[in-house]
Every structure is written in C-alpha cells, then in structure tokens.
Amino acid sequence: MNTKEILQKLPYTTPFLFVDDLLSVDENGATGTFTFNESLDFFKGHFKNNPVTPGVILTECMAQIGLVCLGIYLVGNDLTEESQIGLTSTEIEFLKPVFRNEKVTVISEKIYFRFNKLKCKVKMLNEKNEIVCEGTIAGIIKVN
C-alpha cells in the first residue's frame, strides 16, 4: 500500500484532518507533515491575542500521522469501511508552542504491533527541526 492509498483510507475529513502529506511509511514507522493554517477555528479562542495550537490537537496530529497512517499500512488490505480505529493511551510531553501557519513534521517509530494493537514512540518537529512534543501513543484497529 502506497502513501496516497493510506491517505485515502484515513477516517477523517476537514476540519478534523491533521495530515497534509505522508512522506514515508514502512513496517517500522511513519513520517508526515501538517501546516496549522491560521484559519483553523481553535486559533480564535486559544489564547486571546496570542493564539497557539492546543496540546490535544498536537496529540491528534501525532496520532493521525504516527499511529493511524502506520496502522493502516500494517493492516493493509484487511482494512474495510467497517473497520474501527481507536486511541487507547497517550503520554506526551509538550516542549514548545506551535503557532499559526507553522508546519510540523511528525515521526513515529513502532514499539510493537500485536493483536491489532499498535504502540509507537512519536515526536513532532517544527520547521527549525526543534522537538515540539514527544512521547508514546497507542491504539487499536478492529478489522472485520
């Protein structure tokens, strides 16, 4: 399965799609990018006069690129429209803010994938190649 096919199988659409490009994916991890466009609704109220991307949105971006894209790749053709993908745990440390119009790169590294549960080490880098946040994310893919 190539990166274009994986992106088409993502169960998200705008305004809750946080993947612009999937740069690479293999059995060990995934790398992708997203730009937090200034028109995204959450910037209007988080925070007044100094908008930053909420941590929960950064976590979701890392989960979509680093966990879900990788999970779709690992499950492959067993994934159907009836398949379900769910987040089971996160442990993320936030180190730097992400501002409007900032492009980030997410890199994940598979820790394990068994019984359709995937756990990854993830990190998000800003355009200066600085770590914005990092940690672990786990989820499960239920295929029919």
Residues assigned a catalytic role: 46
Residues 6+ apart with CB under 8 A from 59: 90, 92, 133, 137
Closest alpha carbon to 18 in 70, 52, 68: 68
One-letter amino acid for residue 84 of the chain: Q
Q: Give, in degrees to the nearest 5, the angle at Cα 2 between 8 and 139.
A: 65
Instruction: Give start and end residues of each alpha helix (H) in the chain.
Output: 3-9, 55-62, 70-75
